[in-house]
Amino acid sequence: MSAYPVQVSNLSPSTTKEHLHEFFSFCGKITSIDHDASEQTATVHFEKPSAAKTALMLNGGSLDGSTLTVTSEKEHHDERPTSAGDGVHFEQSDKPRAAIAAEYLAKGYQLHDQILQRAIELDSQHGISSRFLSYMKSLDNTLGEKVVGHDKTISGHVQEKLSQATQQAKAVDEQKGYSKQASDYYTRAVSSPWGQKVFQFYTTTSKQVRDIHEEALRIKESQSSKPADIGTASTGVGTTAPPLDPTVHTTEKPLA
């Protein structure tokens, strides 16, 4: 049994173990779920403490129309990897919390702005995993050479000449189809005309609630345009979460 459990209460009577797995798998790899339908409670066991910590961020989120209470009897700490690894293999739990929150919104789950602000604060306190940063920076360099020339990066060149570089990137992408050939959301996103915004969102801890909402819309649009390519490869979660419904999104004003 995992050493990293969280307790979930106030579940809807309609919530099943499968619903719980779909919902909490955004946080990271789940090893097991103990679901007590009669008590409307569950214990979700995660493989890593960072995943459990992300799950605690979701206290007050909504699942099947019920507001969840997510707690833990022990404190969970983020892992601190000693190296960035190869920059390619990262796990769902390596992603920034703000990015995970955006994935929830893109799939149609309801997270109020207080939870989004909590995600931003966690990223600010604990940083972004070196594995994920290494991956995003490798994309920036690789795609930069393809789109804007040798020894260039997408982010650096766009900073130099925003409009010109954006149009150039779009033209080259349309001609050579880098984003269409890409196997994951991040490659397509970084090589897109708004790649600089995406790159900054995933590599900096300086964010606002509205940035999470904007990234959620980008993810949703990508899922709509390429449903066969996105899905588990881009988000690390199942594809049976409910479709995006504007009625479930919070209408609260973004926090500064």
Q: What mean pLDDT is reported for the chain?
A: 76
Structure tokens at 195: 């790649």
Whole-number Cα distances in Å, 242 to 1, 30, 109, 139: 29, 20, 7, 30
Query: Which of the pair, 148 or 52, is modelled with greater confidence?
Result: 52
The pLDDT of residue 35 is 97
For 224, which DSSP code? Answer: H
Cβ atoms of 119 and 98 closer than 8 Å: yes
* 215 or 85, which is more confident: 215
Q: Please determine, for residue 184, whether its predicted confidence score (pLDDT) is greater than 50.
A: yes
- Interval 28-38: pLDDT, tens: 999 999 999 99
How confident is the model over 111-130, as a mean pLDDT?
95
Which pLDDT belongs to residue 5? 96
Of 109 and 152, the structure prediction assigns the larger pLDDT to 109
Q: How confident is the model at residue 80 (pLDDT cuts 50, 70, 90)?
A: low
Q: Please tell me which residue, 137 or 212, carries the higher pLDDT value.
A: 212
pLDDT above 90 as % of the chain: 50
CA distance 220 to 214: 10
Domains of the chain: 1-79 (3.30.70.330), 90-256 (no CATH)
Closest CA to 7 of 36, 31, 50: 36
Highest average pLDDT, of 8-17, 177-186, 187-196, 229-238, comes from 8-17
Residue 151's pLDDT band, with cuts at 50, 70 and 90, is: very low
What's the pTM?
Answer: 0.74
Q: Residue 215: in which H helix or E strand, if any?
A: helix 209-225
Any bridge partners for residue 110, and if so which?
62
